Amino acid sequence: GDFLRRKELGTQRVRPRWLEFLAGPGKIADEYVHTNGRRVDEVMTTDVVSAPPGTSLAEIVELMGRHDIKNVPILDGGRMVGIITRSDLLRALLRILPKSGAATDDDEVIRRTIVAELRGQSW
Please name each of the domains of the chain with its CATH number: 7-42 (no CATH), 46-96 (3.10.580.10)
Res 65: pLDDT = 92
Q: Of 23, 33, 63, whose CA–CA distance to 47 is shortest?
A: 63
Res 100: pLDDT = 58
Res 73: pLDDT = 98
Res 40: pLDDT = 75
- pLDDT beneath 50: ranges in the chain: 1
Give the helix/strand (H/E) hosting 63. Answer: helix 57-67
Res 104: pLDDT = 63
